[in-house]
Structure 1
């Protein structure tokens, strides 16, 4: 491997995941994480889009190359084992800020995952800003709990490594129930946690004060409200809450907001840009007045490079002011500027929704549903269940009798659970 290559990391939660990522970066190559829990067909489509030169297995199961990769390596870490004899490692290739570091995949309108290409510079800038802004140290204990193919995982991974802090990795069983997850966080004495508002609601039944060691909770991936902040303050009396806002195209979070007291029915503002980044609200190309609805646009030199398959929707644009290296990213989110300069979220300009913190395009689910031989047409929309969680509901027109179970199985073979 070398600069310009991509390694597919077949990810399972464990120390080997960290080893695979760092080993790949040492060669100058980029990595892409594929979650072993995702459907095989989705992983095959991603591997095909990547054209990966290497396939790194981090799990205990048999390698699953999906017939796309010429070279397979298994990455193994055995806790407590001494170093095995090995040849001298190849020299580390220094990374330039503009070099590609990773490729992350997100939902697309056709049901095919959309690859976002990220460079070292924005990732390093975020880690520098984070460690300079918050009083996190090498003595902190971070949790690697984000989704394995979800780009916030890079925040979980690189911030503690930059600090020299401890990175604690839960097993699948530790995340299975609220009680198991809460017990793991308490047992490992986690002090810094990145999580989504749906995860907070998942933990809401735990007892008061059950997370006494938690110092910081950074929340992103969905709208954050007063009910979630109240839950966290009840579980962790000494916690400081910070809201993060961003997308896969704006690594890792271009905006933040320190969370104060929030009424139960009130949403927390998205905040303002981190160093070097601005959160704009535009009507077309014109800045919206305070309180006026517009599209949220991120102006920054620290955006992702773009998409693997181009940018037909024109999400990325050059900076009208012509500042070198600065670009715009049109998020598709709607918002308003408050008089204090912070931005509040006001919905979407398109049909995209967040399901359990994951970005989902209902049009992509429709596309996959219509590919079933019995389905002649379909529509998918977001609904809320009795607890307020966002779910997807589908209606299908069929040319022959078909059960809901058969359609669910068809979708489950091709799309992630969210």
Structure 2
């Protein structure tokens, strides 16, 4: 069977052969060099095949040229890449390996992947600093992939287990092509990408989209601090900055801001960016912040051009949005097919007209989307969706804990974070509870604020009183 994405990448790399394709702090590759390394990696991946079924390859690493080589190598091998958030811990990683029937895992040498691995990692020169582990032996039962699936990505599910979204090559290509067309991405652009390539913000705006346009992709490493961003922008002459709202919050807190001379566009998504932060950032840097709205299951949906007013902008090409009492619904050319490991859940969110129910509340004004809240319980922290019920359940399993409630709360900087109020006996400590959570949950699901009490306050019908819980935290923050 012929797949779309290998052909699309091969064609783009061939057309732009001598141009810079990707760079990180350790080096760079032009398009021809990237294609050469990716095909060598593909030959190594193909050598791991043990049956006629397509190999399923998990990519579990931070952004780097080696990550990109591994991703393209997987596609060129006719295998299916599963893009796993590097913030997931060993427990969640083992769930993914089991739920999705992964064959191989490409990861950093020091990554904590021993629970799902069935043999030691093998160093393959084509993958640079990354290594390959086999995580599945034999040909036992596993969920069957759709024949059109070419990439899988993950989102936090309502059960707490990461839902694996299957995407056809056509959907991935449409997301990239429509983003490039709708935002004016060109071969003259240099993209400084501070979001993980496994996340929809980077995947949709900075991966295939860059190569289709002939733009260059510049990747950072480590925590995206304001100082690291400045160095990246100055060293690359970036014209586009792609980052989560937390980074813009960090930048505006600095007394002086430099490095934005060449940047024409800053793109924010994953969580709401406060209007005051957007205005302050533009005042300090001279760079407009363009809001972008997307959903993991449906791809990029809106973009707010410069001078486009408030809100999240109008629909991108290939997107149709509806707003009503039951929330925002969307139909897009970049929509996922289903959840591999949660049969029927994705399908239940599609209405009779083929629209996906996003779970967001909002309205359309003059064609621009404005969000007002969520129809569900998920908490959005730094662009990642967290189920507070899952987190509270983990806390209740800790020693000396009698009850726990988790919810969204603003930290001292006014940014949304996950907080938990925990009823405990005299032996529990905040440190022990953090360690308990970290042993089971990925780091981004560990509450940023933990407050211990003797008893959870309740309302008149015996349910936890969110008002009183928030007051407890307010008092603790100011006390």
Same fold (TM over 0.5): yes
Structure 1 spans left out of the alignment, 5+ residues: 80-96, 263-267, 284-293, 321-326
Following TM superposition, by how much is the alpha carbon of 1:120 offset from its aligned partner in structure 2, in angstroms?
1.5
For residue 256 of structure 1, the aligned residue among 303, 306, 321 is 303
Summarize the alignment of residues 178-257 of structure 1 with structure 2, pairs less than 5 Å apart.
178-206=226-254, 207-208=256-257, 210-237=259-286, 239-251=287-299, 253-257=300-304
State yes or no: 1:130 paired with 2:179: yes
> For residue 46 of structure 2, what is the aligned residue in structure 1?
none
Counterpart contact for 2:233–2:259, Cα < 8 Å: no
Q: Distance in 2 between matches of 1:36 and 1:141?
A: 25
Q: Distance in 2 between matches of 1:168 and 1:68?
A: 31
Counterpart contact for 1:103–1:115, Cα < 8 Å: yes
Q: Distance in 2 between matches of 1:62 and 1:131?
A: 34
- Greater percentage in helix: 2
For residue 75 of structure 2, the aligned residue among 25, 32, 57 is 25
Following TM superposition, by how much is the alpha carbon of 1:310 offset from its aligned partner in structure 2, in angstroms?
1.9
Q: Distance in 2 between matches of 1:392 and 1:152?
A: 21
Following TM superposition, by how much is the alpha carbon of 1:121 offset from its aligned partner in structure 2, in angstroms?
1.4
State yes or no: 1:311 paired with 2:344: yes
Deviations, residues 214-239 of structure 1 (Å, cap 9, x unaligned): 122222111133223223323432x3
User: Judging changes above 3 Å, is the alpha-carbon distance between structure 1 residues 199 and 63 closer, same or farther for their aligned structure 2 residues?
Assistant: closer
Counterpart contact for 1:315–1:330, Cα < 8 Å: no
Counterpart contact for 2:74–2:81, Cα < 8 Å: yes
Q: Distance in 1 between matches of 2:283 and 2:368?
A: 27
Structure 2 spans left out of the alignment, 5+ residues: 1-48, 129-145, 445-479
- RMSD between aligned residues: 2.7
> For residue 104 of structure 1, what is the aligned residue in structure 2?
153
Deviations, residues 55-83 of structure 1 (Å, cap 9, x unaligned): 223x243783533456955454699xxxx
> For residue 14 of structure 1, what is the aligned residue in structure 2?
64
Deviations, residues 165-214 of structure 1 (Å, cap 9, x unaligned): 22212122xx4532232222222211112112221101113434531111
Counterpart contact for 2:234–2:260, Cα < 8 Å: yes
- Tell me the number of residue pairs that the alignment of Structure 1 and Structure 2 aligns: 374
Counterpart contact for 1:334–1:346, Cα < 8 Å: yes
> For residue 394 of structure 1, what is the aligned residue in structure 2?
420
The 3-state SS of whatever aligns with 2:92 is helix
Using the size of structure 1 for normalisation, the TM-score is 0.80
Using the size of structure 2 for normalisation, the TM-score is 0.71
User: Judging changes above 3 Å, is the alpha-carbon distance between structure 1 residues 66 and 158 closer, same or farther for their aligned structure 2 residues?
Assistant: farther
